[in-house]
């Protein structure tokens, strides 16, 4: 008699194992991917969103391919380019009549700090992507044509037009929006270490996301994982060399005391920065974006395993920062 068959592994476990294998190859390319997305979108927030979407799309697409691409870096740029161009086309279709064309430059409020990216933002989508891939990442004309799904002749023309249009734009001072009361309430509860008050701020339908790692729906699920980790995770971080959580090389002298948060203005939007204490002083290790609904939280995005994004935003704000790496480390 044959022994009973082993029950199949849960689907979530199978997917997580495959995802970890995918990251073994593509995670080393994350910094280049973020930089490319940053040049395309001209915003740290949009760049991180595009990078996350690119990895998710690449993971799904790779599972449908007969064999892995021979040049993972160029292929990842191609996936990002296609997603970005699709977004632009969709926005253009949905925009009311009379709004600006997608190729029309939009002034960036951070010109003095980010002039190169702002200049590139004046180019049409294909010109922008071609110039970045050639002049920033030094891809060959053949690789650029493949990444943008076009011909080498079209790439040469786009490079010629794009390089001729790089002219310094005028600066503009963005208006300041008032701080939503829910952000102040969130910071007061967080800095008091009051998990109950933090949980009470969430709508019953709230989503709490640790970007690129996990998403929890509803206050209780968020309380057990994301909120608890945001408040008390530094205790485990300080002993990550034995307890896991992040790679030991990212401990960087962090202390087990709870982090503090404050609201700051970034690109005309209020965000929350998380200050962690270290033996040599404080540094930002996480950033949170909150979508309010009245006096409650509808959606919370915590950027923790996103070092390129954190470095970018902190660079614009002039804040010291430390990296946590790209993903949770069990050991």
Quick: pLDDT tens for 166-189: 654 544 555 566 789 999 999 999
Give the rounded percent of residues in the chain with a pLDDT score beyond 70: 84
The rounded distance, in Å, linking the Cα atoms of 248 and 254 is 11
pLDDT at 190: 97
CB within 8 Å of 36: residues ≥ 6 apart: 77, 80, 132, 133, 136, 137
Taking 80 as the threshold, does the pLDDT of residue 4 lie above it? no
The rounded distance, in Å, linking the Cα atoms of 17 and 22 is 9
pLDDT at 161: 78
Looking at every residue in the chain, the average pLDDT score rounds to: 85
The rounded distance, in Å, linking the Cα atoms of 287 and 264 is 10
CATH of 181-317, one of 3.40.50.280, 1.10.10.10, 3.40.50.150, 3.10.450.50: 3.10.450.50
> Edge-to-edge strands of the sheet including 214-217?
214-217, 202-210, 296-303, 281-293, 269-278, 260-266
Taking 80 as the threshold, does the pLDDT of residue 273 lie above it? yes
Residue 272 tokens, joined: 């929350």
Taking 60 as the threshold, does the pLDDT of residue 24 lie above it? yes
Residues in the chain: 331
Residue 48 tokens, joined: 């991180």
Say if CB 17 and CB 316 are below 8 A apart.
Answer: no
Domain boundaries, the chain: 12-164, 181-317
The rounded distance, in Å, linking the Cα atoms of 214 and 221 is 11
Residue 97: count of CB within 10 angstroms of its CB: 4
Domain 12-164 has CATH 1.20.140.160: yes
- The pTM of the full predicted model, rounded to 2 decimals, is 0.79
């Amino acid at each position: 008699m044959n022994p009973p068959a082993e029950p199949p592994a849960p689907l979530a476990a199978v997917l997580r194992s495959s995802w970890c294998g995918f990251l073994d190859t593509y995670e080393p390319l994350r910094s280049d991917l973020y930089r490319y997305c940053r040049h395309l979108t001209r915003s740290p927030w949009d760049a991180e969103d595009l990078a996350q979407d690119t990895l998710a799309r690449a993971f799904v697409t790779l599972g449908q391919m007969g064999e892995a691409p021979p040049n993972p870096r160029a292929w990842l740029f191609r996936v990002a380019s296609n997603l970005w161009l699709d977004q632009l086309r969709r926005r253009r279709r949905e925009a009311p009549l009379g709004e600006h064309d997608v190729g029309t430059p939009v002034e960036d409020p951070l010109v003095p700090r980010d002039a190169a990216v702002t200049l590139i933002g004046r180019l049409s989508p294909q010109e922008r992507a071609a110039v970045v891939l050639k002049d920033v990442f030094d891809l060959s004309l053949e690789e650029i044509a493949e990444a943008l799904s076009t011909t080498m002749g079209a790439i040469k023309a786009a490079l010629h037009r794009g390089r001729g249009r790089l002219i310094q734009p005028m600066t503009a001072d963005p208006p300041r929006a008032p701080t939503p009361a829910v952000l102040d309430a969130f910071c007061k509860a967080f800095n008091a270490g009051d998990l109950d008050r933090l949980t009470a701020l969430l709508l019953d339908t709230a989503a709490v996301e640790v970007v690129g790692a996990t998403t929890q729906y509803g206050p209780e699920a968020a309380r057990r994982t994301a909120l608890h980790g945001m408040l008390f995770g530094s205790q485990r971080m300080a002993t990550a060399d034995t307890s896991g959580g992040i790679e030991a090389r990212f401990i960087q002298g962090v202390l087990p005391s709870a982090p503090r948060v404050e609201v700051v203005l970034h690109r005309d939007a209020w965000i929350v920065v998380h200050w962690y204490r270290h033996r040599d002083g404080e540094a930002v290790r996480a950033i949170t974006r909150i979508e309010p609904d009245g006096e409650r939280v509808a959606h919370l995005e915590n950027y923790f395993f996103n070092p390129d994004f954190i470095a970018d935003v902190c660079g614009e704000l002039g804040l010291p920062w430390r990296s946590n790496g790209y993903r949770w480390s069990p050991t």
